[in-house]
Amino acid sequence: MAKKEKLSTDGGQALNADNPFGGLSAAGLPQAQPAPAPVSKPVPAPAAPKKRGRVDIKRVKAGRGGKTVTLCAGEGLLHTGPQELDSLVKTLKTRCGTGGAVKGKTIEIQGDQREAVAAELEQRGYRVVFAGG
């Protein structure tokens, strides 16, 4: 068999002839205007959350087959409507990455999630108190 002839890829004259932008030059184009400095709007300070009352957070294992559950109960949740409680539980479940439920006016979150639950409740204006173990 005969050896195949190699094609040149050195970028000679053949490539310049095929360049669609070869005839363009930037000499006749106007200079771009400098972009104006962005004007930053003053950010208003976040409003203090509404005080909603006390919520006790407990870690409970008794009567649950050895599984740990975080319970949230208290007078702060007694004055909360059912739709708002469901919304709060959904947010807590998403934030903790676990399951949970509303039973009466008590919120149950699976696992020992006291710190994450406390942070979310404080952000919403509840006064959090750790109770029990």
Domain CATH number, residue 72: 3.30.780.10
**Residue ranges of the chain with per-residue pLDDT less than 70:** 1, 11-17, 22, 45-49, 133
pLDDT at 117: 94
Asked if residue 36 belongs to a domain, the reply is no
Whether residue 111 is contained in a domain is answered as: yes
Q: Is residue 15 part of a domain?
A: no
Tell me what pLDDT residue 11 has. 63
Is residue 131 a contact partner of residue 57, using CB atoms and an 8 Å limit? yes
Residue 113 within a domain: yes
Structural domain contains residue 20: no
Domain count across the chain:
1
* Residue 27 forms part of a structural domain: no
Q: Is residue 72 exposed (0-12), middle (13-18) or buried (19+ Cβ within 10 Å)?
A: buried
In a domain, residue 107? The reply is yes
Kindly tell me the burial class for residue 43, based on how many C-beta atoms sit within 10 Å of its own C-beta (0-12, 13-18, 19 or more).
exposed
Residues spanned by the domain of 61? 53-130
| Confidence (pLDDT) at 114 | 94
